[in-house]
Structure 1
Amino acid sequence: MKAFGKILGLGLLGLLLIIVAAGFALTHLFNPNDYKDEIRQIARDKAHIELTLNGDIGWSLFPWLGLELHDASVATLTTPTQPFADLQMLGLSVRVLPLLRREVQMSDVRVEGLNLRLNRDKDGHGNWQDIGHPAPSAVPASVTAQTDKRAEPTSAAEEEKPSQPIRLDIDSLTVNNARIEFNDEKTGRQITSESIQLSTGAVHDGKEIPVKFTAFFGTNQPVLRARTELNGNLRFDRALKRYQFEDMRFSGELSGDPLQGKSLTFSAQGQLLVDMAANVAEWTGLKLSANQLRALGELKVNDLNKTPQLNGMLSIAQLDLMKFLDSIGQPLPSVADGSLSKVELVTRLTGTPTSLALDDLNLKLDDSNFSGRVAVEDFAKQSLRVQLKGDTFDADRYLPAKSADADSASKVRQAEVLSSEANAIASNSPLPESPTRGAWSNDKLLPIERLRSLDVDAELGFNQLTLKKLPIDNAALKVTGQGGMLTLNELRGELYSGSFSAKGSLDVRPDVPHLSLQTRLNRVPVERILQAQGQKPPVKGSLTLGSDITSTGNSQKALVDSLNGSASFALNDGVLLNANLEQQLCTGIATLNRKTLSSEPRGKDTPFQELKGSLSLHNGVASNPDLKVRIPGLSVNGNGDIDLRVLGMDYRIGIVVEGDKSDMPDPACQVNERFAGIEWPLRCRGPLELGAKACRIDKDRLGQVASHLAGNKLSDKLEEKLGDKVSPELKDALKGLFKR
C-alpha cells in the first residue's frame, strides 16, 4: 500500500512535469501573432464583434494563462470601420488549475489608454446597441426568429435553475488614462470623461476592497467641467446580492457657464449599502458640503424592484445664503443688509423618482422660524405644494431695491408735492395745480413665463407679518395656480385695531396679464397706514372700505392706468388734519360781511363724525359723486375725481351750517339765521398727499351765495314794507323773484 502511494505520487509528479514541459514548449514554439486572422474570425463568429489587432499579442499558458494585447480596437459588425473602443494595452493572467473549480484567480489586471466612444444617431439609435449582434446580411430573419424561439426554453430553464456564481480572486485592477465619450447627434449634446484613473486592492468576494477613482467630466450643454475623486472600501457578496461602499468620500470641483465664472467645491461622505435581495438601498452617516453649505443626514430607499420609495432626514447647518448663491454665480437681487445671512433647515425627506417632499420642516430664516411642509409632487409639471406657519416675518427685508428709474420718479414726485405744499400753507393762497407727473413705475412686476408654467397650491400663515411697513397680525394666505391661472383664495389679517381680507385672480395666459381683486377693510386707522408708508396723513379715522376692481398689465403704471371697478368707503370718528374749516368759513362769511377777521383760529384741525361715499373707477380715475361728511353743526357734500395715475384730486365741496346758531368767536364771522342752510363752496385741487391743505373758498361759486343772501335781504325788506296789505300768495311770489 505504501509502495502504491509512492508510485501514485511519482506518477502525478511526472504528469505535472509533462504538462509544464508541454506548456513551456507550446508558449515558446506557438506564436499567437501568426493567427491574428483566425482570432478576428472567431471574434466575428462567436462574439459578433470586429476585432482589430495592430500590436503584438503576448501570452503564457502555465501555471498562469496570461494574455497581453497591444494597440487593439473593437467595432460592431454593423459599422466595422468605425471602432467604438480601442486601447493601448490590456494585460491579465489567470491561474489554470482553479478554473477547473470555477474559481477565477487573477494577478494584476491592467488597462492602459482605453478610449470608449458611444454615439446616438439622429434617429435615437446608439452604436452600443449593436454590440454582439451579427451583421445584418449574415443571418436571415427567419433563422434569427427560429434561433430566438429555440433559445426561449433554455432561458427559462436557466432562470429556474441559476448557475452557481464564479468565485473571483484578483490581486488588483488598474486602469490608466482612460476616456469615455458620449455624443447625441439629435440634440448636439456631448458628455466626456477623461483622464480616468482607477486602482483597487485585492478583489475578493466578501472582503474589503480599497478603491480609488479620479476623472475629469465635461458637457457642452450647458458648458460644464468637473474634477472628481472617489475613495472608499468596497465590499460585495454576490450570493447574498449585497453590496457595500464603506467610508465613501466623493469630492471635486465644478465650473462652467451656469456658475458665471465661479466654481463649486463639493464633497459627499458616508456609508452606502445596496441589498438587492431585500430591495433596499441606504446612505448612512451622510455628510455633504458645497462651498459654504454643510449638511448631515441619512437616506433609505425601499422597493428597488418596483417604484423606489425614499425616506430620510436632512439637516443644513446655518449659512449665509446670499454669499453661497453669489459664490456659485447665482446672486439674488439686492436686499436689506443682513438678510438671508442666517438660514438653517431640518426636515424629514420622502419621495419617489417623480416627487420629493420635505415633511416636518423646520426652517430658520434670519429672525423668523417656519414649520410645515414643502413638496414637489411632480418634477415634470413642477407641481409645488406648500404649507408653512411662521412666527414673525418681515417681508420688507427681502423685497428687491427700487430701480434707478423708479427712485428718480419718486424724488421728482416728492419735490412736486413739497412745492405744492409750500404754496398751500396760507389759506388765501391760490389753489395748487393738479399734478401731471406719473406716480408709478414702468418696471416689470411679474415673471410671466414662469407663472404660466406654475402648478402651485400654497397655504401660508404668520403670527405677525410686516409688509410695506405694515404690522399684520394673524396673517393667512391661500393661493392656487395652474395653467397660467392664479387664484387668491384668501388673504386676511389684523391691521392695527382693524382687519382686512381679499380674494382675486391673476390670468397670465394672454399676452397682457389680467387682474381681478376684491378687498375689504374693516375699521383700519387710515392715518397709521399712511404714516407707515412715510406719508403725512391728511386725515385720521377708522376706514371701512370695500372694492371690486379689475386691471391689466405687467407694471405699476399699466395696472393703475387700466384700473376699473367700484368701491365704497366710510371713515368714522375722523379728523381733518391741518384744516380748520371753521376758519375757512369765517373767511368767507367775513368777505360777505365786508369785515376783517381780528382773531386767530382756535385749532388747526377739524373733527368729523363720518365721511363716506362711493367710487367709480375708469382707466385709473376714480369718480366720487356722493362724498358726505358729518361734522357737529355742519354737513359737507361734495363730488370730484381722484386721478390715481398721478395721485391728484379735484373736488367741489359744499358746506352747510346747520345747528349752531351761536355767534362765532370773531365779530367779523357772525353766523345767524340768514346764513343757516346756506351751502358754502370750497374747491380742493392738487396732490392727494395735501389733503385739506389743498382746499380754498370757491370764489367762482361764492358770487351765487352772495346773490342768494342779497335776495334774502330784499325779501326781508318786502316783508316789512308789505306787511298784511297783500295776500300771502303774492308775497311769496315776490320773495321768490328776488331769490333767483
Structure 2
Amino acid sequence: MKSVLRIVLGLGLLVLVSLGALAAYLAFVFDANDYRERLSEAVAEQTGRRLTLSGELKLSVFPWLGIELGAAELGNAPGFSDRPFAALTAAEARVKLLPLLRKEIAVDRVILKGLQLSLERRADGKTNWDDLTERHQADDSGAGLGEPSGGGGPAALAVGGIDIQDAVIRWEDEASNARHSLSDVDIRMGQIAPGVPFDIDLAASFAASEPAVQGRFTINGKASLDLAARQYALAGLRAALKASGEGVPGGAVDAGVMADLALDLAQGTVSVKGLSLKAYEVAVTGALEGSGLPDAAVLRGPVVLEGFNPRQLLDRLKVSAPRTANPERLKRAALKGQLTLSPTRIALDELAATLDDSKLSGRLEVADLARQAVRFDLSIDALDVDSYLPPAPANGSAAGAPAAAPANAKGAEASSLDSLRSLDADGRIRVGKLKAAGMQAADIDVGVKAAGGRLTVSPKGVIYDGRLDSVVMVDTRPTPPALAISGGLDGVQIGPLLRDLTAKPERLTGRARIDFKLKGAGLDAPALKQTLAGTTTLNVRDGAVKGVNIAQYLREAQAALTGQKADSASGPAQTDFSDLNATIVLGGGVARNDDLAMRSPLLRVGGEGSADLVRERIDYRISAAVVGTLTGQGGKSLEQVRGVTVPVRVGGSFAEPTYALDTEALLAGAVKGRLEQEKAAVKEKVEAAREKAKDQLKEELKKGLGGLFR
C-alpha cells in the first residue's frame, strides 16, 4: 500500500514539475510572435482570407490560458471593396485551465477594442461572408458523424465580463443602394454566470442612407441567463433613442422604453411587465404575457394609451391637422384595452377609448395581417360628424361653386378604389346619438361587410321620429364601380329633416314614408347625377307645401276669369294637405314625376314634370282644383273657379325655385270649359225640342188614326 501511495505522489509531483516547467518555458522562452506567419497560413487555409497581425501577441498559460492580440486585419472576399472584412486594434481573452478538464468554461473578461466589421452585398445578391458560412457548413456536415448528440457541449459557462469599445459595423447593399452603419459601439457586461444577475450597458450611434436617418441609442439593465434551463431575463430595462433625418416622422424623435423581460424557451413563454413607452409626448403602458414560443408566439395583456392631444402629436410629426368646424376638436384622446398579438393577428378587446366628447367601446381585430382582414364591433355614445368637417366658407366666397379638382385627383380616386377592392372587413358600428350632414339621428346600427371587391353597408336607426332601414352596396369590380341603394324611411317628420339637411327653411312638412330603390355607376356626385336610375316613392300625411299658396293662385285665377282685380295674398305662404303621394323616376340625369296627387278638404292637386339633376333646373306643372267647400284658404269665396283646373308653373333652380300662375293655360282651359258648357246647353235644348216634337207627333198620329178607324 505504501508503495502505491509513493507511486501516486511521485506521479503527481512529476505532473506539477512538468506543468511548472511548461509554464516557465512559455513565460520565459516561448514567444508567440514567432508563429505569426504560421497562424496567418492556417487562417488562409481555413478561410481563404489573409490574416495580418501587426500588433504584438502575448500568451499566458497558468492559471489562465489566455491571449492578448494587438492590431489585426482579416481580408475581404474577392470581388468586394478594398476595406478589410474585419479589423481590431486590440483584443484580450483568458480561460481558466483546470475547469476545462471538467468540461466547464470559465472565461475572464473579454475585451475588444476598435473592432471594425464591413458587411457588403453585391447587385447579384452575393455577400462577402458567403464563403465563410459555406466552409463552416461543409465542416459541420462532415464533423461529428456518429457522435452522440449533446455529448460535446460544455457542462457550464461562466464569463468574467465583456467589454467592447469603439466598434464600427458597416452595411452596404448595391442592390438597393443602401448604406447603413453602427459606430461608437460600446458594450459592457458584468460577470456572466448561470442564475447570477449581471449588468449590461450598450450604446451605439447609427446612420442610414435610404431613408436618411441618424442618431444614437442606449440600452441598460440587469440581465441573467441559465443556458441549461434555457431561461433568460432582463430586469430594469431602460432604452433610449434619439434620431433625426428625413426618414424619421416629424424629422426628429426622442423616445424611451422601460420594462422587465423574462424568457423561458423550455416552456415557450415570455413575460413583459412594467412596460412603458414614450415618444412624441405620447405614453403607452401595459403588461404582456406570451406563450407558444418560438413557432406560434401569442402575446396577451392590458395596454393603455395615456391621454394626449392629437393636434399636438400631428404638429410634432409635422403633419397638418385637419381644419374642423369646431376648432376644439381633435384635442383630447385616450385608449385602453386587452391586446392580443401574434405573427398573423392583432386584436384589441374590452376597448375603451375617448375622442373629445365621444366615448367608444367594443373590440377591434385584424384577423389576418397578410390580407388585412378587419373585424370589429364598436359602440359610440355620441358623435358629431359635422364638427370634424372643414368649416363653412367665409362670407362672400362662392359657397355653391364646385371646388377645382386637384391635379392628383385621378390618382387619389384610383388609390381609393384600390383600397376598396382589397378591403376585407366585417363588423358593426352602433351610435347612440349622431349628427351628420346637419341631420340628427339616434340608435344608429350600421353593419359593414366587404370582401372580393364588394362593400355592403346596412344603416338602421331612428331619424326625426321615423325608422330608417336601408342597404347600400358598392361593387368595385366593374369600371366604373356600381352603386345600389334600397330601403326606406317610415314615419319621419319630413320638415325638420329637410330643414337640417339643406340648412334652409323646409318646403315640405308632415309625417312621411319614403321608399327608394336606385342604382348608379361611379362614386362621385357628378357621375351619380348622370347615371343614377330607379324609383323613389313618397307618401306624406297631414302636412303642408311651404313657399307656395295654391289658394292664392286660385283667387288670382278667379280674378282672371271674372276680369276683376285679385285680392292681395293673405295667410301663410303654404298649402295644407291631408295626404300627398308621388313617384319619382330617375334616369339619364333627370328626375321625373307624373303622378303627384295631393288632397285636402278644399283642393285636389296633381302635378307632372321633371328636374335636371346635372343643371339643377326645375320644369314642373301643378294642376289645382277646388272641391268640397266654396271658401278657400284666407276665407275668400272661390265659387267662380269651382270645378276649374288651375295650373301653376314651377321653375328656376334647386336653390331658388319659382312659382307662377299659368294664366294662358288657365284661360284656355276656362274657354274650353265654357264651350263645353255651351255645347252641353245647346244639346240639352235640342234634346228637349226633339222630345217635345215627338210628343206632338204622337198626338197628331193619334188624332189621324182615330179618324181613320172611325
Q: Which residue of 2 aligns with 1:516?
A: 484
Contact 2:421 2:454 in 1 (8 A): yes
**TM superposition shift of 1:595:** 0.7
Indicate whether 1:61 and 2:60 are aligned.
yes
Of 691, 699, 711, 2:663 maps to 699
Q: Which residue of 2 aligns with 1:298?
A: 287
Whichever residue aligns with residue 448 of structure 1, its letter is L
Q: Which residue of 2 aligns with 1:363?
A: 353
Paired with 1:722 and 1:259, the residues of 2 have a C-alpha distance of 103
Contact 1:291 1:327 in 2 (8 A): yes
Q: Which residue of 2 aligns with 1:500?
A: 468
Paired with 1:246 and 1:461, the residues of 2 have a C-alpha distance of 43
Paired with 2:361 and 2:219, the residues of 1 have a C-alpha distance of 37
**TM superposition shift of 1:203:** 2.6
Of 382, 389, 407, 2:379 maps to 389
Indicate whether 1:204 and 2:193 are aligned.
yes
> Pairwise mapping of residues 86-235 of structure 1 onto structure 2 (< 5 A)?
86-122=87-123, 124-134=125-135, 148=141, 151-154=144-147, 157-159=148-150, 161=151, 163-170=153-160, 172-235=161-224
Q: Which residue of 2 aligns with 1:621?
A: 590
Paired with 1:729 and 1:26, the residues of 2 have a C-alpha distance of 164
Whichever residue aligns with residue 645 of structure 2, its letter is E
Post-superposition CA distance 1:116-140 (Å, at most 9, x none): 233344554544443254399xxxx
SS in 2 for 1:725: helix
1:132–1:724 Cα change, 3 Å: closer
Paired with 2:647 and 2:331, the residues of 1 have a C-alpha distance of 58
> Pairwise mapping of residues 289-368 of structure 1 onto structure 2 (< 5 A)?
289-335=278-324, 336-368=326-358
Of 647, 652, 663, 1:681 maps to 647
**TM superposition shift of 1:370:** 1.8
Contact 1:49 1:74 in 2 (8 A): no
> Pairwise mapping of residues 235-254 of structure 1 onto structure 2 (< 5 A)?
235-254=224-243
Post-superposition CA distance 1:188-216 (Å, at most 9, x none): 44443222111122333322211111112
1:73–1:729 Cα change, 3 Å: farther
Q: Which residue of 2 aligns with 1:528?
A: 496
SS in 2 for 1:38: helix
**TM superposition shift of 1:23:** 3.2
Indicate whether 1:725 and 2:706 are aligned.
no
Paired with 1:681 and 1:441, the residues of 2 have a C-alpha distance of 43
1:475–1:152 Cα change, 3 Å: farther
Contact 2:551 2:633 in 1 (8 A): no
**TM superposition shift of 1:283:** 0.6
1:720–1:44 Cα change, 3 Å: closer
**TM superposition shift of 1:587:** 0.8
Of 455, 468, 471, 2:424 maps to 455
Whichever residue aligns with residue 370 of structure 1, its letter is L
Post-superposition CA distance 1:370-417 (Å, at most 9, x none): 22111111222111111112222222233355799x9954245xxxxx
Contact 1:234 1:245 in 2 (8 A): yes
Whichever residue aligns with residue 202 of structure 2, its letter is F
Paired with 2:390 and 2:71, the residues of 1 have a C-alpha distance of 62
**TM superposition shift of 1:88:** 2.5
1:642–1:212 Cα change, 3 Å: same
Whichever residue aligns with residue 52 of structure 2, its letter is L
Q: Which residue of 2 aligns with 1:429?
A: none
Whichever residue aligns with residue 58 of structure 1, its letter is L
Paired with 1:402 and 1:451, the residues of 2 have a C-alpha distance of 29
Deviation larger for 124-133 or 320-329 = 124-133
Deviation larger for 233-242 or 181-190 = 181-190
1:190–1:539 Cα change, 3 Å: same
Post-superposition CA distance 1:204-242 (Å, at most 9, x none): 332221111111234344333342110101111222211
Whichever residue aligns with residue 167 of structure 2, its letter is A
TM-score (norm 1): 0.83
Paired with 1:729 and 1:259, the residues of 2 have a C-alpha distance of 112
1:639–1:582 Cα change, 3 Å: same
1:507–1:167 Cα change, 3 Å: same
Post-superposition CA distance 1:634-692 (Å, at most 9, x none): 1111111122334432101111122223589787x6414xx33221111010123445x
1:372–1:666 Cα change, 3 Å: closer
Q: What 5-or-longer segments of structure 2 have no aligned partner?
A: 695-710
**TM superposition shift of 1:68:** 2.6
Identical positions, percent: 26
Q: Which has the higher contact order (CA 8 A, sep 6+)?
A: 1
1:717–1:623 Cα change, 3 Å: closer
Contact 2:280 2:313 in 1 (8 A): yes
Whichever residue aligns with residue 56 of structure 1, its letter is G
**TM superposition shift of 1:185:** 4.0
**TM superposition shift of 1:720:** 9.4
Paired with 2:396 and 2:448, the residues of 1 have a C-alpha distance of 31
Q: What 5-or-longer segments of structure 1 have no aligned partner?
A: 137-143, 413-437, 731-740
> Pairwise mapping of residues 366-381 of structure 1 onto structure 2 (< 5 A)?
366-381=356-371
TM-score (norm 2): 0.87
The CA RMSD over aligned residues, in Å, is: 3.6
SS in 1 for 2:639: coil
Whichever residue aligns with residue 661 of structure 2, its letter is I
Of 633, 641, 650, 2:610 maps to 641
Paired with 1:662 and 1:493, the residues of 2 have a C-alpha distance of 43
SS in 1 for 2:629: coil
1:177–1:508 Cα change, 3 Å: farther
1:547–1:346 Cα change, 3 Å: same
Q: Which residue of 1 aligns with 2:556?
A: 587
Post-superposition CA distance 1:680-731 (Å, at most 9, x none): 111010123445xx2110123123123124425644874797693246999x
1:294–1:237 Cα change, 3 Å: same
SS in 2 for 1:724: helix
Whichever residue aligns with residue 525 of structure 1, its letter is Q
Post-superposition CA distance 1:250-286 (Å, at most 9, x none): 1112333354553222111111001112111111111
> Pairwise mapping of residues 77-88 of structure 1 onto structure 2 (< 5 A)?
83-88=84-89
Paired with 1:343 and 1:663, the residues of 2 have a C-alpha distance of 60
Whichever residue aligns with residue 227 of structure 2, its letter is R
Q: Which residue of 2 aligns with 1:427?
A: none
**TM superposition shift of 1:315:** 1.1
Whichever residue aligns with residue 61 of structure 1, its letter is S
1:556–1:524 Cα change, 3 Å: same
Whichever residue aligns with residue 491 of structure 1, its letter is P
Paired with 2:265 and 2:693, the residues of 1 have a C-alpha distance of 114
**TM superposition shift of 1:243:** 0.8
Of 239, 255, 264, 2:244 maps to 255
Indicate whether 1:37 and 2:41 are aligned.
no
Contact 2:194 2:226 in 1 (8 A): yes
Q: Which residue of 1 aligns with 2:626?
A: 657
SS in 1 for 2:327: coil
Whichever residue aligns with residue 41 of structure 1, its letter is E
SS in 2 for 1:307: coil
SS in 2 for 1:248: strand
Contact 1:441 1:555 in 2 (8 A): no
Post-superposition CA distance 1:416-462 (Å, at most 9, x none): xxxxxxxxxxxxxxxxxxxxxx7998977782232233221121112
Paired with 1:165 and 1:401, the residues of 2 have a C-alpha distance of 73
1:8–1:600 Cα change, 3 Å: closer
Paired with 1:729 and 1:187, the residues of 2 have a C-alpha distance of 116
Q: Which residue of 1 aligns with 2:439?
A: 470
Paired with 2:133 and 2:570, the residues of 1 have a C-alpha distance of 106
**TM superposition shift of 1:497:** 0.9
Paired with 2:400 and 2:295, the residues of 1 have a C-alpha distance of 64
SS in 2 for 1:688: coil
